[in-house]
Amino acid sequence: MIRGDAFQSFLDAALVAFDRHATDIRARNSVMQLFSQLETPGVQRDDAPPKRLPVCERFLASALENAATKPSLERMISCFRELEPLIVWRWRSSYDSSASDNFLMSHANGMIVGPGGLEDRKDVWLGVTLMAPHVRYPDHDHPPEETYLVMSEGEFKQAEGEWFAPGIGGSFYNTPGIKHAMRSGSKPLLALWALRADGQSH
Ligand SMILES: [Fe+2]
């Protein structure tokens, strides 16, 4: 149950970054509750070997460099670089025609905390998505509320609203069950998401 140093340092830096950037009051409440739940560590997994997907090899380094240009994200990015070699990057298991044709080979999700994550638990999910340029993630929804911390250029959409670009360090809140999606432009998209969950799939 004891977290490794790289893991705990990343969580500490992520809390600071979410606290700095989440402005929506619902997001702030959610994030503060979520990180207080994380004060109790969950099961640390070491049975799944770390795995990178092709999109990671091609775009992760440049996406992290780009994110670190924002001074308030620098510390978290540096901690993420230490943690990343442990992450099992995965493809999303389901998607529909709302995704772009290139979606499958052009995205990767890393579950840091959450079901199947480095810290395996159901109450809190903290993960990261990387997408190559010109990729649209499928519409999806889930009962848990969710706060995004965006670390790149790229656009996001909620329900039937217009696409919007939070920018590096931008944050927004998804109410429980709202349909949402993201798409990259000419640069890779990198975003962290934090959910207070009941165990449903992301
Ligand atoms: Fe989501």
Res 48: pLDDT: 87
pLDDT at residue 176 in the model = 95
| Dist. CA 69 → ligand 1 center (Å) | 25
**Res. 199: pLDDT tops 50:** no
DSSP 168: T
Q: Which band of pLDDT confidence, cut at 50, 70 and 90, is reported for residue 20?
A: very high
pLDDT at position 93 is 87
pLDDT at 29 over 80: yes
Helix axes 71-83, 5-21, angle to 10 degrees: 150
Of 129, 163, 165, 168, nearest in space to 146 by CA: 129
pLDDT digits (tens, 9 = 90+) for 158-180: 999 999 999 999 999 999 999 99
* Across 6-33, average pLDDT: 97
The rounded Å distance from CA 139 to ligand 1 centre is: 9
User: Cα separation of 43 and 105, whole Å?
Assistant: 30
Integer angstrom CA distances of residue 160 from 51, 95, 139, 144, 164: 35, 18, 11, 19, 12
Cα 202 to ligand 1 centre (Å): 6
Residue type, 130: L
Does CATH place domain 5-195 in 2.30.30.240?
no
Beta pairing partners, 171: 149
Quick one: pLDDT at residue 46?
82
C-alpha–C-alpha distance, residues 69 and 12, integer Å: 20
In angstroms, what is the span from residue 10 Cα to ligand 1's centroid? 21
* Cα 118 to middle of ligand 1, angstroms: 19
Distance from the CA of 81 to the center of ligand 1, in angstroms?
23
User: pLDDT tens, 77-128?
Assistant: 999 999 999 999 999 989 999 999 999 999 999 999 999 999 999 999 999 9
* Ligand 1: centre distance to CA 51 (Å): 22
At residue 202, the pLDDT reads: 45
- According to the model, what pLDDT value does residue 144 have? 95
pLDDT at 73 over 70: yes
Which residues, in sequence order, are CB contacts of 195 under 8 Å at separation 6+?
34, 114, 124, 125, 126, 142, 144, 145, 146, 147, 202
Assigned token pair, 38: 């994380």
In the numeric block, the tokens 């994030």 are attached to 31
C-alpha of residue 172 to centroid of ligand 1, in Å: 11
Q: Where are the alpha helices (DSSP H) in the chain?
A: 5-21, 25-37, 54-67, 71-83
